[in-house]
Structure 1
Amino acid sequence: MRQKRAKAYRKLMSLYSMSFGFRQPYQVLVDSHMCKEATVHKIELVKQLGSVLQGTVKPLITQCSIQELYDQEKDHKFAVELAKTFERRRCNHRQPIPGDECLTSVVGDTNKHRYVIATQSPGLRQHLRAIPAVPIIHVNRSVTILEPVSDATLRAKALEEDKALHPTKPEAAKLTPTTSAATELPRKKKVPKGPNPLSMKKKKPKPEENVSAAKSEFPDPTAQVGEKRRWQDDDQEEGAMSTKEGSTHKRKRRRKHGGQSSSTGQDPVD
């Protein structure tokens, strides 16, 4: 089997499993027409059913279908031997009826027991397409094919999903109303949010502000120098006053010896 076809069949069986509860081993009802077709084309029917359904299978055949093969045993001897290897499914028909009618009665209107039908009868396949959740297998030129999902199956799937989303009447009655004004929780008021400060441009300062900021950051150096000089002058004056007060005698004026007077130009007298 090609990979693309196997992927499509796997997807179909996952739909039947998830939506309608099909489980392995899959119960496959085989009719007399399928047994004849398998022997004519020399198909290993059980192996092909397993590869198409992507899992283990359990082939079944009804008493009415095998009775049809017994009636034609001379022409389809190998088909009878193949049908004997399958498990018998009780159809509760006292008198044998045609195989198509037997399978229709076994499947019913809802396919309660989740059967997969393997048949070559065009009339039976047309009837089963109107019943939801019935996988149908047939052989086309020695290739075993699983038919696509029918419209009835898609409608039933959508209905089941709708039921799962909405509660039933007993469940709805148990639920307490939560939409009353008394049980409603107070809603928070929406406060308008301001702009992101990181995304805003910084305001340019005015020229006056720039001058004042520059003055505060860089004070005038001349003012500091003048203050220092003032402080030094004050310290010198205080030192001079303290020396004057602390002195108790006057200093004598010393005469110069050996020098000529500037006024007469003569040598000094001893």
Structure 2
Amino acid sequence: MRQKRAKTYRKLMSLYCMSFGFREPYQVLVDSEICRIATESRIDLSKQLSTVLQGVTKPMITQCCIHELYLQGKSQQSAVDLAKAFERRKCNHREAIPGDDCLASVVGDSNRHRYVVATQSQPLRAKLRLIPGVPIIHINRSVMILEPPSEETLRVKQQKEQEALGPAAAELVKLPQQPSDPPRKKKGPKGPNPLSMKKKVTRPVSVRVPRKSDSTAPPSASDLSIGEKRKREENDEQLTATRKRKRRRKHGGGPTSSVVTTA
């Protein structure tokens, strides 16, 4: 058995043990049809029942179910031998009745003897689902399956839990229901860690200081008006004339220069 299925069956049997008082060894009522399928499929019925119920089992069969196997003839002799190996459960029927009716009468309306029923009959399984606290087993393609608890079983389980809590459960029911928390928004992708990032270096804004040469530089000719251009040209001519005079005086080539003669 797979691990997931075994875990599910263990939880189911713990439910029946806690809520309905089941205990080991589990008493398993077997019908004639499941004995026949077990012999045809070569299934070790006792071993499979212990594996599914996750505990020690005690297979049981009624006289009415064995009588059904006798009616099928000598072809079912192996199934009869398997049924005889199980414990005989007294059904108190003087005359043999159908196996489904016999098992339903043995279980009763409340399953007070805490039987687990292993049957292949669909009508009997539908009838047993209406009775709280009845685990049902059947074989599907050579695999033994424990059915999930019925709605009636879950209802009785919940009722017993509320009775166990007592008046505290009734007070909890009377309390107004608190509004549920709003759904949380899904977080998007996270950014980088700010502590691991380098801090930005803020450089001061450089202010250009004008040089003295820039302040004393004469404006360009395009920035001057017409009158200013003329004044500038005249000043330039006077400046060049004075420079020429100074050069002549320096070299002594002017008309006012005197010739000195020595004796």
Matched to 1:159, the amino acid is Q
| Pairing 1:123–2:114 present | no
Instruction: Give the whole-Å Cα distance in 2 for the aligned partners of 1:126 and 1:133.
Output: 14
Instruction: Give the whole-Å Cα distance in 1 for the aligned partners of 2:165 and 2:6.
Output: 32
Match of 1:3 in 2: 3
| Cα deviation, residue 93, structure 1 | 0.5
Q: Which runs of 4+ in 1 moved over 3 A?
A: none
Match of 1:244 in 2: none
Matches for 1:89-168 after TM superposition, within 5 Å: 89-166=89-166
What SS does the corresponding residue of 1:60 show, helix, strand or coil?
strand
| Pairing 1:74–2:60 present | no
Match of 1:237 in 2: none
Matches for 1:228-247 after TM superposition, within 5 Å: none
Instruction: Give the whole-Å Cα distance in 1 for the aligned partners of 2:73 and 2:90.
Output: 21
| Cα deviation, residue 59, structure 1 | 0.3
Match of 1:190 in 2: none
Match of 1:35 in 2: 35
Matched to 2:107, the amino acid is V
Instruction: Give the whole-Å Cα distance in 2 for the aligned partners of 1:103 and 1:55.
Output: 23
Q: Any idea what the Cα deviations from partners look like across 1:158-185, whole Å, max 9, x if unmatched?
A: 1111221227xxxxxxxxxxxxxxxxxx
For structure 1, list consecutive stretches of 5 or more residues without a partner in the other structure.
Answer: 168-270
Matches for 1:166-177 after TM superposition, within 5 Å: 166=166
What SS does the corresponding residue of 2:102 show, helix, strand or coil?
helix
Instruction: Give the whole-Å Cα distance in 2 for the aligned partners of 1:101 and 1:160.
Output: 29
Matched to 1:43, the amino acid is I
Match of 2:205 in 1: none
Q: Which moved more, 1:9-18 or 1:157-166?
A: 157-166
Matched to 2:114, the amino acid is R
Matched to 2:103, the amino acid is L
For structure 2, list consecutive stretches of 5 or more residues without a partner in the other structure.
Answer: 168-263
Matched to 1:9, the amino acid is Y
Instruction: Give the whole-Å Cα distance in 2 for the aligned partners of 1:48 and 1:151.
Output: 26
Match of 1:16 in 2: 16
Instruction: Give the whole-Å Cα distance in 1 for the aligned partners of 2:145 and 2:54.
Output: 12
Instruction: Give the whole-Å Cα distance in 1 for the aligned partners of 2:75 and 2:109.
Output: 34
Matched to 1:10, the amino acid is R
| Cα deviation, residue 98, structure 1 | 0.2
| Cα deviation, residue 73, structure 1 | 3.3
Instruction: Give the whole-Å Cα distance in 2 for the aligned partners of 1:102 and 1:163.
Output: 34
Does structure 2 conserve the Cα–Cα contact (< 8 Å) formed by 1:60 and 1:86? yes
Match of 2:190 in 1: none
Matched to 2:138, the amino acid is H
What SS does the corresponding residue of 1:23 show, helix, strand or coil?
coil
Does structure 2 conserve the Cα–Cα contact (< 8 Å) formed by 1:28 and 1:60? yes
Matches for 1:195-210 after TM superposition, within 5 Å: none
Question: What percentage of aligned pairs have identical amino acids?
Answer: 68
Matched to 1:80, the amino acid is V
| Cα deviation, residue 11, structure 1 | 0.4
Match of 1:55 in 2: 55
| Cα deviation, residue 52, structure 1 | 0.1
Does structure 2 conserve the Cα–Cα contact (< 8 Å) formed by 1:30 and 1:117? yes
Matched to 2:123, the amino acid is G
Match of 1:83 in 2: 83
Instruction: Give me the TM-score of the superposition, normalised by structure 1.
Output: 0.61
| Cα deviation, residue 75, structure 1 | 2.3
What SS does the corresponding residue of 1:76 show, helix, strand or coil?
helix
Instruction: Give the whole-Å Cα distance in 1 for the aligned partners of 2:89 and 2:163.
Output: 33
Instruction: Give the whole-Å Cα distance in 2 for the aligned partners of 1:66 and 1:84.
Output: 8
Does structure 2 conserve the Cα–Cα contact (< 8 Å) formed by 1:73 and 1:80? no
| Cα deviation, residue 70, structure 1 | 1.3
Matched to 1:71, the amino acid is L
